Amino acid sequence: MFKVVAAVLTALYPVVVFALLVVLKLPVRVLSLCVIALGFAAFLSAGIKGRASAGGTSGSAGASAKGGSFWLRFRPFLGASLFLAAGIVCFLTNQAVFLKLYSVAVTATFLFVFASSLVWGPNIIFRFATMADKSILNSAKEKLVERYCRKVCIAWCLFFILNAGISAFTALKCSDAVWSLYNGGISYGLMGLMFAVEYIIRIQVNKKMPGEYSITKFKNNSRKDDYILCYENTWSSKKYKTWLDFLTATAKIRAFLSEGSRSSCKEWILHCEDYWYI
């Protein structure tokens, strides 16, 4: 419950600041103390989450680190630090604008993380994709997925630049109500629209990705005998391998292994440089 409350207050930060500053008309320094308290709450929440994550196995921790979960583990601490910094600076200067610039700092942080992953790689969208679907790595579609994720990451960087600019403008030039409306509502709506558009595009992109099927799911009648599986050299040379060729080749291998199992050999190594047999 503590973590849920901290997360809700973080998400509704612009609305909370507007309510306390404009509706309840709290003094700026009192409001800054509230923000500092919220920062401490977020920091404690992140600490609880961190200790819970530390209880996992070393294998899962290694896999998470490899998948790029470093950002996921330390993001709550970074958000709490931004809260504390905004509250302390506001308390010292007695200027509410520093509280409103918190939204700009959060967006700028996201921009830095996404942009830096584009430079040093792999990009953070690709990391999320491989964490969600372990079959992407070392598959035929890995490079295609990585290129698509890179485009998505660039699109999010452009969004963060635009969002940070508008957020800064509302904080410096607009009223508290306009700032709260954009940062507490419109920006979330635009982010949701980005997710929705990307999801629709991703569905279309996935249809063009090369599919992979386990050989154990096939039967001898899964395809017609003249179904073309692959070709040699160029398509125009008309040197094809059909489903019947595949059944014949696998039957020969099966017969060879069956005969070999009667001998003293208990283990086999199958190796061929021709992908057709692999």
* Residue 228 pLDDT > 60: yes
Helical axes 102-120 vs 70-93, angle rounded to 10°: 150
Cα 122 to chain centroid, rounded? 11
| Inter-residue contact 84 to 37 (CB < 8 Å) | no
**Which pLDDT score is estimated for 62?**
39
pLDDT digits (tens, 9 = 90+) for 86-137: 777 767 776 767 777 878 888 888 898 899 889 887 889 999 888 888 878 8
Please indicate whether residue 192 or residue 74 has the higher confidence score (pLDDT). Answer: 192
Between CA 47 and CA 253 the distance in angstroms is: 57
**Which pLDDT score is estimated for 57?**
40
Which whole number is the average pLDDT over 66-75?
Answer: 50
Give percent above pLDDT 90 in the chain: 14
Between CA 191 and CA 10 the distance in angstroms is: 16
Q: Taking the CB of residue 93, how many other CB atoms lie within 10 A of it?
A: 13
Between CA 28 and CA 87 the distance in angstroms is: 10
Which whole number is the average pLDDT over 202-211?
Answer: 83
| Paired strand residues for 241 | 230
Between CA 258 and CA 173 the distance in angstroms is: 81
* Residue 209 pLDDT > 50: yes
The angle at the Cα of 126, spanning 125 to 130, to the nearest 5 degrees, equals: 120
Assign 61 a pLDDT band (cuts: 50, 70, 90).
Answer: very low
Between CA 149 and CA 162 the distance in angstroms is: 20
Cα 3 to chain centroid, rounded? 22
pTM summary value: 0.62
Cα torsion angle, 194, 196, 200, 206, sign: positive
Please indicate whether residue 16 or residue 127 has the higher confidence score (pLDDT). Answer: 127
* Residue 206 pLDDT > 80: yes
**Which pLDDT score is estimated for 238?**
80
- The three state secondary structure string of the chain is CHHHHHHHHHHCHHHHHHHHHHHCCCCHHHHHHHHHHHHHHHHHHHHHHHHHHHCCCHHHHHHHHHCCCHHHHHHHHHHHHHHHHHHHHHHHHCCCHHHHCHHHHHHHHHHHHHHHHHHHCCCHHHHHHHHHCHHHCCCCCHHHHHHHHHHHHHHHHHHHHHHHHHHHHHHHHCCHHHHHHHHHHHHHHHHHHHHHHHHHHHHHHHHHCCCCCCHHHCCCCCCCCCCEEEECCCHHHCCEEEHHHHHHHHHHHHHHHHHHCCCCCCCCCCCCCCCCCC
